Structure 1
């Protein structure tokens, strides 16, 4: 008989802490519903006391989903817990996730405290949370660098106080898989009452070992894993849900099951990538563009003879259909809607009509329309209500010729034009833009990514622009990389212009 592993998804909390990847409440609900369909057991919906937006998102997600447990994060502070309780009032199944740092570094420098006082604060927080909910998870922040003997004392104390789940985070991604697995095993062997709580893993990928550490934790007794879609998260990210799920599905000898419908992995991966404007690297395990691509002649020959020669996973098991409908300029709305639906995106008829017009324009410019192109079109729909829009852009450049750009903007219905020269077409276009939008703005980061192959690719541009001491994140996509760059800059401007 197989063991059951609970999947705790923190895409909407830890994953959303990535700079520039914040979602609005409607987008969070869309992801939460997709997570429910995927089969996750717990959705960490936010950190309610951190902002009114997070508080409201936890409320609305609680209303929108039915069977997964909705979890709200807190510090070991009564006010945090009170706010979390209020945010969870509509949840059918609710959990409070509270905790405190336990490493000597955190105790000394973060809390200016001592080990005994930290245990007292941990116990008090768990007891207080249990007054409101039956399901309380305790996290021992920086457990990866916490002495095992002391960590065991903390975990034993919070279980006695009523914790139903104990989270052992490798907060800094420091542990080796052997160290992390041994830490979980130590708790299993030395904590009185450990059988009354579920041990959870929460691993970060700073040294590229999040998945390995998580699997090591599971093999040594953890029965909940805290993961994100595409492995997104602070710094180098979190353990990827799709990697853990497919490792267990592929290694039948482990005999640990999840509730995940693996055929929905690829659609939700693309949905999260699109909504958060965060590209999935081409060689990303399971969901990357090249995950099932074979360029070596020897590999191609082997796969054609028998897929198992070089593929341990059937692409269809993760929702990649090799026989999907090919989209061209002659495709109708029904085909486009079908492709969106297969990617986890549902559009109203009005939005579909608008996106379809943009699809036809793109199809005229591109030979092949890829899933990422389709998701870019869906994301572009969100810019329709921007206060500042690009009307036209013309750039002249060449070898030995200084680039000159002419740009036209629509600012709240009023037309403006600007012209400037620069060191290349992008520089000239942005200088022309800044002549119209006369603000002191500093370009902090500029990243270009082609999302498919060929000279007619759609290029995605990510920008960070500093204005009035704040950094704003923008995104643009176009087959013309200069236009995509200008669109990304305008996206940044719209975010602070709406605050003026």
Structure 2
């Protein structure tokens, strides 16, 4: 790879930079550019109906500024703006934004589209970068500045014909990151000299990373430098519009806020030309995860994904931050175990702040359920498997049993080369630990108590032949163990016993778990499920005993 054909982006010699010591404490002014910047990047742009549907959804999410189109670019764009205005579809607290080049006939067509709008942002732009000046326009700095100034004069003349404050100017020195920062200040000041903004009627200066050319820290330096050197700072709102060419548009926007930007333009899921724009979903949820109100509603992530897929006709990566299908899913055994323990603690202790390993936010906050957090495949461990059994079916397996069952599940998933559903995991549990009727199948039993001794009498089928069993002990399980001793190939003992009521399904049912150990130290597990606790424990013992006999007989 011929890396020598590229050169590093020159850093800005910014002394005493302040932004690294800042923190974000409030949400910026958000402006969605989905309906323009995002729309122009689609193979098949949205039609009028799709744009209307997405506009209403953006309003519902809480966007107060929405770039609705480039009215002079196409008839669809023009008609869309007219429909919003004529049908009174723009809420009182929402301001639409329209894009226009610094060319007279385009600006006039833009104002035609805005006729009757109560309030609108006219976003005027022209490219100012060294490369664009030299290659595309073949104009010097003064000529490029003259284009911006002349365009602003036209906008101002048309705005002056309307109610004061109803037209807000936004100016973008397009390709700001490829423009000398001092020249960017100069051209923006020339534009503001024409517009004459005030602290009461501010203008917007948008500083776009039209092409992301540097690391985010250099972009932050540029924003801080601009804010320190532009005159009339209290009369302008500094806005940023980052593209994702280097994959760091979100980081660049966040650092720009630290550096003094007050407004962010972006799109849902970062849709846009080339690698896209800053992703407002991620930006907003990043704030949310730090305990800051994002001032946008992300509480129904599935609805956001669906409206995007339906109207933009693009997919959302399953690994997309916060809202992807797999971001609250753990396949790794150690991760699953940590999540399970964290969730158990959170439910039990109910702490003030969310703290669960591997989950930066509570999935419920964006409308996701806990059900799919842990999914099981050949990489899964005991924590995940036991979490599924407990939360889906109410089984709380003893720790040693969890370990054994997780190996069974891992082998099953590895053999099938696929993920196992909760129902499949349940079915495997039932198959492995319950309803094991050979060699011993218990038909009925009776337990009697005399002094401190328990006697069990039972009718069972053993290797297909009916037999009577009888044994004494300090409890039903001990008595049945003594009764089964003559049918065991080796001596054995119960080393672990647990029971609990099933939390799901019928509340009257109980589940028992038994761990047998033979004279060689080998362990065997069984489980029993029944409305009678004695019966469930006896079933668990029979199932564990049968597993032991089968295993030893095979040898």
Q: In structure 2, how many angstroms separate the alpha carbons of the residues matched to 1:123 and 1:258?
A: 36
Gaps of 5+ in 2: 1-23, 160-165, 198-202, 344-355, 373-420, 422-555
Q: In the alignment, is the contact (CA less than 8 A) between 1:242 and 1:265 conserved in 2?
A: no
Aligned partner (choices 150, 154, 161) of residue 128 of structure 1? 154
* Aligned residue number for residue 103 of structure 1: 129
Matched, 1:64 2:89: yes
List aligned pairs for 1:112-123, cutoff 5 A: 112-123=138-149
Q: In the alignment, is the contact (CA less than 8 A) between 1:292 and 1:311 conserved in 2?
A: yes
Residue 182 of structure 1 deviates from its aligned partner by 0.4
Q: In structure 1, how many angstroms separate the alpha carbons of the residues matched to 2:242 and 2:219?
A: 9
- Structure 1 residues 413-463: Cα deviation after superposition (integer angstroms, max 9, x where no partner): xxxxxxxxxxxxxxxxxxxxxxxxxxxxxxxxxxxxxxxxxxxxxxxxxxx
Q: In the alignment, is the contact (CA less than 8 A) between 2:173 and 2:207 conserved in 1?
A: yes
Change in Cα spacing, 1:170 to 1:46, as seen in structure 2 (3 Å) is same
* Aligned residue number for residue 228 of structure 1: 267
Matched, 1:249 2:288: yes
- Structure 1 residues 339-393: Cα deviation after superposition (integer angstroms, max 9, x where no partner): xxxxxxxxxxxxxxxxxxxxxxxxxxxxx9xxxxxxxxxxxxxxxxxxxxxxxxx
- Structure 1 residues 16-71: Cα deviation after superposition (integer angstroms, max 9, x where no partner): 12232411111111100000010112111111111101111122234323132101
Q: In structure 2, how many angstroms separate the alpha carbons of the residues matched to 1:12 and 1:319?
A: 25
* Aligned residue number for residue 77 of structure 1: 103
Gaps of 5+ in 1: 325-367, 369-500
Change in Cα spacing, 1:36 to 1:296, as seen in structure 2 (3 Å) is same
Q: In structure 1, how many angstroms separate the alpha carbons of the residues matched to 2:300 and 2:61?
A: 6
Q: In the alignment, is the contact (CA less than 8 A) between 1:9 and 1:226 conserved in 2?
A: yes
Q: In structure 1, how many angstroms separate the alpha carbons of the residues matched to 2:118 and 2:295?
A: 19
Residue 86 of structure 1 deviates from its aligned partner by 1.7
Aligned partner (choices 175, 179, 184) of residue 146 of structure 1? 179
Change in Cα spacing, 1:125 to 1:258, as seen in structure 2 (3 Å) is farther
Residue 262 of structure 1 deviates from its aligned partner by 2.3
Higher Cα Rg, which structure: 2
Q: In structure 2, how many angstroms separate the alpha carbons of the residues matched to 1:127 and 1:154?
A: 14
* Aligned residue number for residue 208 of structure 2: 169
Change in Cα spacing, 1:258 to 1:41, as seen in structure 2 (3 Å) is farther
Residue 140 of structure 1 deviates from its aligned partner by 0.9
Change in Cα spacing, 1:258 to 1:81, as seen in structure 2 (3 Å) is farther
Q: In structure 1, how many angstroms separate the alpha carbons of the residues matched to 2:370 and 2:108?
A: 50
Q: In the alignment, is the contact (CA less than 8 A) between 1:144 and 1:170 conserved in 2?
A: yes
Change in Cα spacing, 1:269 to 1:154, as seen in structure 2 (3 Å) is farther
Aligned partner (choices 165, 178, 197) of residue 236 of structure 2? 197
Q: In the alignment, is the contact (CA less than 8 A) between 1:8 and 1:41 conserved in 2?
A: yes
User: TM-score, with normalisation over the residues of structure 2?
Assistant: 0.55
* Aligned residue number for residue 28 of structure 1: 51
SS at match of 1:100: strand
Residue 145 of structure 1 deviates from its aligned partner by 1.2
SS at match of 2:306: helix
* Aligned residue number for residue 13 of structure 2: none
Q: In structure 1, how many angstroms separate the alpha carbons of the residues matched to 2:118 and 2:371?
A: 39
Q: In structure 1, how many angstroms separate the alpha carbons of the residues matched to 2:274 and 2:81?
A: 24
Matched, 1:282 2:318: yes
Change in Cα spacing, 1:193 to 1:178, as seen in structure 2 (3 Å) is same
SS at match of 2:295: coil
* Aligned residue number for residue 510 of structure 2: none
List aligned pairs for 1:9-408, cutoff 5 A: 9-62=32-85, 63-66=88-91, 67-130=93-156, 131-132=158-159, 133-162=166-195, 164-252=203-291, 257-307=293-343, 308-322=356-370
Change in Cα spacing, 1:219 to 1:275, as seen in structure 2 (3 Å) is same
Residue 321 of structure 1 deviates from its aligned partner by 4.1
Q: In structure 2, how many angstroms separate the alpha carbons of the residues matched to 1:260 and 1:178?
A: 26
List aligned pairs for 1:456-475, cutoff 5 A: none
Change in Cα spacing, 1:21 to 1:270, as seen in structure 2 (3 Å) is farther
- Structure 1 residues 309-353: Cα deviation after superposition (integer angstroms, max 9, x where no partner): 1111222323334579xxxxxxxxxxxxxxxxxxxxxxxxxxxxx
Change in Cα spacing, 1:319 to 1:123, as seen in structure 2 (3 Å) is farther
Count of residues paired in the alignment: 323
Alpha-carbon RMSD across the aligned residues, in angstroms, is: 2.2
Change in Cα spacing, 1:235 to 1:72, as seen in structure 2 (3 Å) is same
Q: In structure 2, how many angstroms separate the alpha carbons of the residues matched to 1:321 and 1:79?
A: 53
Residue 284 of structure 1 deviates from its aligned partner by 1.3
